[in-house]
């Protein structure tokens, strides 16, 4: 082996080590949260109201709050996001205006989450008078989720071969019929993956809901869209930094529930993606 091949060998080993250094802590974080949380997690913890200043009992209202918020995000963000993606992939021409839209989407995706919180507070809570409510929080999170949904849905729509559209048009279909009956159904798995990825981001966010929905301690289930609610990520923040003398078991179990929720959604998204990628005929 010449010297430069030795350097190459050592270099490749070094790169592999860096790769290991990137992923090993990920495994460690996930593993330790599962390990420490599993011991403290019981069924009662999932289905009971918190008692005794959250130091005992369960986290049901936080779980329900997060699910309700996520559903609210889905109702708003899916139609708007998929509609925008259809526009970008099927109608937009490559001009300065389309570039401005793309720049706006990239921008939305990189606005700090706490700035979304400020915006939600300014527009929904105060200006529109929704108060700190599920409605205000879900709308804030929905706008934050849009860029993820738009870009993945657009990618899925663009992956549908142009021939599908041509054939639909040649059979006398209008442009919208082609989209509605051919392109959208074909792109559905890809769109679904993007939607789930967007929703899981919304479910795990804390900063945007700090001033728009989150209730510090509210041991009941939400009644209406104008209700405040507890939410899992905010609850984890509260019990790990704001309440002195919190039992470690409650903290660990809450972290595990939140992580499990998000990782399950992640897993579902990748199963959908790989299942349909294998099955599709083009």
Partner 1 sequence: MKKPSSQTRVARLPSRPLEFAIESLIRVLGFSAIGFVTLIFIFLLTEGLPAFLQVRPGNLFSTRWYPTFDLYGVLPLISGSALVTITAMLIAFPMGLFTAVFVREVAPNWAREVLKPLIEVLAGIPSVVLGFFGMTMLAPIVREVLGAPTGLTALTGAIILAYMSLPTIISVAEDALDAVPKSYRDASLAMGATRWQTIWRVVVPSARSGILMALMLGMGRAIGETMAVMMVTGNAARMPEGLQAILKPVRTMTATIAAEMGEVAHGSTHYHVLFGIGLILFAITFLINLAVASMMFQKRSRGGLR
Minimum CB separation of residue 23 from partner 1 in Å reads 4
CA distance 239 to 193: 32
Helix (H, G, I), strand (E, B) or coil at 51: strand
Residues 153 and 145: their CA atoms lie apart, in Å, by: 12
CB of 120 to partner 1, least distance (A): 9
Rounded Cα–Cα distance for residues 145 and 124 (Å): 16
Is residue 138 within 8 A of residue 212, CB to CB? The reply is no
Virtual torsion, Cα 92, 94, 98, 99, nearest 10 deg: 160
| Residue 177 C-beta: closest distance to partner 1, Å | 6
Please name every residue paired with 57 in a beta bridge, in sequence order, or none if there are none.
50
Q: What residue spans of the chain are helical by DSSP H?
A: 3-40, 43-47, 60-86, 96-110, 113-120, 134-159, 162-170, 175-178, 184-204, 232-237, 248-279
Q: How far is the CB of 128 from partner 1 (least distance, A)?
A: 11
Of 192, 212, 168, residue with least CA distance to 78: 192
Nearest distance from C-beta of residue 22 to partner 1, angstroms: 5
Tokens of 278: 């294998």
Least distance from C-beta 46 to partner 1, angstroms? 17
Q: Rounded to an integer, what distance in angstroms lies between the CA atom of residue 95 and that of residue 158?
A: 18
CB of 137 to partner 1, least distance (A): 14
Give 229's DSSP letter: B
Burial class (CB in 10 A: 0-12, 13-18, 19+), 248: exposed
Shortest approach of partner 1 to residue 24 CB, angstroms? 9
Of 118 and 243, CB closest to partner 1: 118
Nearer to partner 1, 66 or 222 (CB): 66
């Amino acid at each position: 082996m010449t010297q430069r091949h030795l350097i190459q060998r050592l270099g490749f080993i070094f790169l592999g080590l860096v790769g290991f250094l990137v992923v090993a802590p990920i495994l460690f974080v996930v593993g330790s949260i599962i390990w420490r949380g599993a011991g403290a997690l019981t069924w009662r913890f999932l289905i009971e109201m918190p008692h005794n200043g959250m130091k005992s009992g369960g986290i049901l209202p936080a779980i329900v709050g997060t699910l309700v918020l996520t559903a609210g995000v889905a109702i708003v963000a899916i139609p708007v996001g998929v509609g925008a993606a259809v526009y970008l992939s099927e109608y937009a021409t490559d001009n300065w205006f389309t570039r401005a839209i793309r720049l706006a989407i990239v921008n939305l995706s990189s606005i700090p989450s706490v700035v979304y919180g400020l915006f939600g507070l300014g527009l929904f809570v105060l200006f529109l008078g929704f108060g700190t409510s599920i409605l205000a929080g879900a709308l804030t999170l929905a706008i934050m989720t849009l860029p993820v949904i738009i870009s993945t849905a657009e990618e899925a729509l663009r992956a549908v071969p142009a021939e599908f559209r041509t054939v639909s048009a040649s059979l006398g279909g209008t442009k919208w019929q082609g989209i509605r009956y051919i392109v959208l159904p074909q792109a559905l798995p890809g769109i679904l993956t993007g939607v789930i990825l967007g929703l899981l981001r919304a479910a795990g966010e804390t900063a945007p809901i700090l001033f728009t929905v989150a209730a510090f301690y509210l041991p009941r289930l939400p009644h209406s869209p104008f209700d405040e609610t507890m939410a899992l990520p905010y609850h984890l923040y509260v019990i790990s930094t704001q309440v002195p003398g919190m039992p470690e078991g409650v903290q660990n179990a809450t972290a595990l529930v939140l992580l499990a929720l998000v990782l399950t959604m992640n897993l579902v998204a990748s199963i959908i993606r790989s299942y349909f990628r294998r099955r599709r005929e083009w």
